[in-house]
Amino acid sequence: MAPQIDGFFSQVDSLSSHFIDRLSKAVAIPSVSSEAARRPDVVRMAHFLADELKTLGASVELRPLGKQPDNPELDLPPVVLARYGNDKNKRTILVYGHYDVQPAEKSDGWATEPFTLSVGEDGRMFGRGSTDDKGPVLGWLNAIEAHQKANVDFPVNLLMCFEGMEEYGSEGLEELIQKEGKGYFADADAVCISDNYWLGTEKPCLTYGLRGCNYYGVEISGPGADLHSGVFGGTAQEPMTDLVRILASLVDTHGKILIPGIMDQVAPVTKEEETLYDGISFTMETLHDSLGSKTTIFEDTKSTLMARWRFPSLSIHGIEGAFSAPGAKTVIPAKVIGKFSIRIVPNMEIEKVNEIVAKHVNDTFATFGSKNTLKVYPIHTGNWWAASPNHWNFRAASKAVERVWGVQPDFTREGGSIPITLTFEQSTGKNVLLLPMGSSTDGAHSINEKLDKKNYIEGIKLLGAYLHYVAEEPQQ
Ligand SMILES: C[C@H](N)C(=O)N[C@@H](Cc1c[nH]cn1)C(=O)O
Ligand SMILES: [Zn+2]
Ligand SMILES: [Zn+2]
């Protein structure tokens, strides 16, 4: 295999400008799934991917998913399903990624235009979606192209599933994956997802667990319209006052979730599990670098990693309807919606968490004696996932990491969520591997999101090499 894989690697190097250009085109499409006004751009991004895939000789389908449940006026963006190769003598790998991105505005504090890929002299490539998840998604396409141009036989059949609503809880996808487990994906031998990050900046990792994410809205309304605080302050009960008291009842400064009953559902940490955290290369310095500050809850790496991977966390994200512009507007908002989410872990159950959250918020509000109106509801939910890394799929990826990066990967879990991972595992009955491309300093979801050129180019080699090692692995 060595000469073949070497030919592929040098072709990736030769095509690097072309691959960066492909990423620039993708980043230039502002495919923000959470903003209704951007929906045409999300759809445009699906077509961009489909066209690129067709040019590479893949067979492609754009599958409609119907209307968006919480906004029935709006069509969900299509899922891009594609197949490259159909050789019965080869293994078939199903890869998943997402082509939607988080919102981004220059005014949020970006140093460059968020929807323009800005490649610096130092090799950092800034742009929304560069690392999450357009770079990794294009990695698969680039790996196909480099094989073609290097005249190297593609080692597996590749099934691809790229969605456009991941950043909004993978709306509409679950049913399709459940149905296609024995349909479009029937001949998949294993699944690979490239949509997370290394723990630091030097050492790649393979990931075998994710937290889930239940995202909530707490809506409080009172007056019929926004009011003048000089005229009505002290006269009307203010929705914002009630809301901040509710939000303050959810979590403390040290990350302790204050909702009764939440921690009771968490599986106890076993002695064996504890030891897993000892060998992982991760330092508080790396964490401070990724954080851009030293404001960590814990002072040691083990507690930090456990808090990220193994325990739930509650984050307060924002308040819709509140005054948030610079300056000093003397307004009393009439209706405000607080947004918060809970990252859930084994053995928490989505429905049980929803019930406990609703009870806590309603009970807390009842103690205020407020005349305002309260509603609390889940906006979207997603399950946790934990798999076994003792499988040829992980072995192949580990060999690929060693080949491309010259080190053995860490085996990690992940604090973030990819809601559909568990559904892939259950519907196909196959092993699922997470094989990240980007590093801990990439700033996914943040301002100045970036992907290092080195991670992108070596990442394309990594994805290709993984497929070669998959082809070589004996059956388990
Ligand atoms: C890990 C992945 N790249 C990611 O960013 N996932 C999102 C998915 C999400 C959004 N709402 C709920 N889940 C995340 O972890 O926030
Ligand atoms: Zn992602
Ligand atoms: Zn994301």
pLDDT at 278: 82
Q: How many CB atoms lie within 10 A of CB 241?
A: 15
Residue positions in the annotated binding site for substrate?
195, 228, 330, 343, 417, 445
pLDDT given for residue 171 in this prediction = 87
Best residue among 418, 446, 449 to mutate for probing ligand 1's pocket (most ligand atoms within 8 Å of CB) is 418
Residue 31 pLDDT: 98
Distance 444 CA to ligand 3 centre (A): 6
pLDDT (tens digit, 9 = 90+) per residue, 213-227?
A: 999 999 999 999 999
ipTM of the complex: 0.97
| Alpha carbon distances (Å) from 407 to 154, 205, 244, 281, 394 | 25, 10, 48, 12, 15
Determine the atom of ligand 1 nearest the C-alpha atom of 132. Answer: 3
Please provide residue 467's backbone torsions phi and psi, each rounded to the nearest 5 degrees: -65, -35
CATH topology of domain 2-210+384-472: Aminopeptidase (3.40.630)
Residue 65, both tokens: 């998913």
Binding-site residues, please? 98, 132, 167, 195, 228, 330, 343, 417, 445
Q: Which protein residue's CA is at the shortest distance from atom 10 of ligand 1?
A: 167
Q: pLDDT (tens digit, 0 to 9) for every residue of the chain, 476 residues total?
A: 667 899 999 999 999 999 999 999 999 999 999 999 999 999 999 999 999 999 999 999 999 999 999 899 999 999 999 999 999 999 999 999 999 999 999 999 999 999 999 999 999 999 999 999 999 999 999 999 999 999 999 999 999 999 999 999 898 999 999 999 999 999 999 999 999 999 999 999 999 999 999 999 999 999 999 999 999 999 999 999 999 999 999 999 999 999 999 999 999 999 888 888 888 889 999 899 889 999 999 999 999 999 999 999 999 999 999 999 999 999 999 999 999 999 999 999 999 999 999 999 999 999 999 999 999 999 999 999 999 899 999 999 999 999 999 999 999 999 999 989 999 999 999 999 999 999 999 999 999 999 999 999 999 999 999 999 999 988 76
The three state secondary structure string of 201-241 is CCCCEEEEEECEEEEEEEEEECCCCCEEHHHHCCCCCCHHH
Task: Please tell me the predicted confidence (pLDDT) of residue 1.
Answer: 64
Where does 212-266+311-382 sit in CATH, by number?
3.30.70.360
What is the Cα–Cα distance from 452 to 306, expressed in whole angstroms? 27
Cβ(287)–Cβ(296) below 8 Å: yes
Amino acid at 391: H
pLDDT value of position 2: 62
CATH 3.30.70.360 domain span(s) along the chain:
212-266+311-382
Q: Quick: pLDDT tens for 345-391.
A: 999 999 999 999 999 999 999 999 999 999 999 999 999 999 989 99
Give the span between the Cα atoms of 80 and 48, in whole angstroms: 10
Provide the token pair at 330.
């003397």
- φ/ψ (deg, to 5) at 80: -95, 115
